[in-house]
Amino acid sequence: MAHTTLMMIKPDAVENGHIGGILEKVTAAGFQIKALKLTQLSKNDVERFYEVHQERPFFGELVAFMSRGPIVAAVLEKENAVSDFRTLIGATNPAEAAEGTLRKLYATSTGENAVHGSDSDENAEIEAAFHFAGRERF
Ligand code: ATP
Ligand code: MG
């Protein structure tokens, strides 16, 4: 059965010219793109998106980083999309990310780690609805 996940290509990877490289790896890994856009989050948008982390010491840094420039948001479809995409992106800290993963290839630090992937089917649907109207999803 096909499942969905929500990807963001974060501002660092967009600034560094990695949109094309990342989308190539994502589609080569068998994910189908069901929604896609270049957009910029406000500080308030980031505070809502990453609300679960609001008490963490890095929250202010995360809000500043994620709102500083454009991101790419996408809904991806594949069997076991959430867990397979987490495997493709690699560990949160790129120094711990496996060879060939998106964070190993494109991330520079734990804070600026190139790509987001949903952590559950439930959150994937909440995050997809956060970024896309129904008519933008296929
Ligand atoms: P994401 O949710 O963006 O896919 P993740 O699930 O691997 O990342 P989370 O624990 O959900 O990791 O943290 C969300 C984001 O907060 C991280 O991707 C990173 O940008 C930032 N972050 C997490 N831990 C730290 C830290 N110790 N120092 C700085 N930033 C951090
Ligand atoms: Mg997370």
pLDDT in tens, 88-111: 999 999 999 999 999 999 999 999
Mean pLDDT (the chain, rounded): 97
Secondary structure element (H or E) that encloses residue 87, with its range: helix 81-89
Stretches where the chain sits below pLDDT 70 are 1
109 CB contacts (<8 Å, ≥6 apart)?
93, 94
Tell me which residue has its CA closest to atom 1 in ligand 1: 116
For residue 2, the model assigns a pLDDT of: 82
Domain boundaries, given as residue ranges, for the chain = 3-136
Q: Are 71 and 39 in contact (CB under 8 A)?
A: yes
HSE, CB side, 13 Å, CA atoms: give it for residue 111. 11
10 CB within 6 A, ligand 1 = no
119 CB within 6 A, ligand 1 = yes
| Residue 58 burial (10 A CB sphere; 0-12, 13-18, 19+) | exposed
117 CB within 6 A, ligand 1 = yes
Active site residues: 116
70 CB within 6 A, ligand 1 = no
Atom of ligand 1 nearest to the CA of 117: 4
Q: What tokens were used for 42?
A: 């406000």
Ligand nearest to the CA of 116: 1
Q: CATH for 3-136?
A: 3.30.70.141
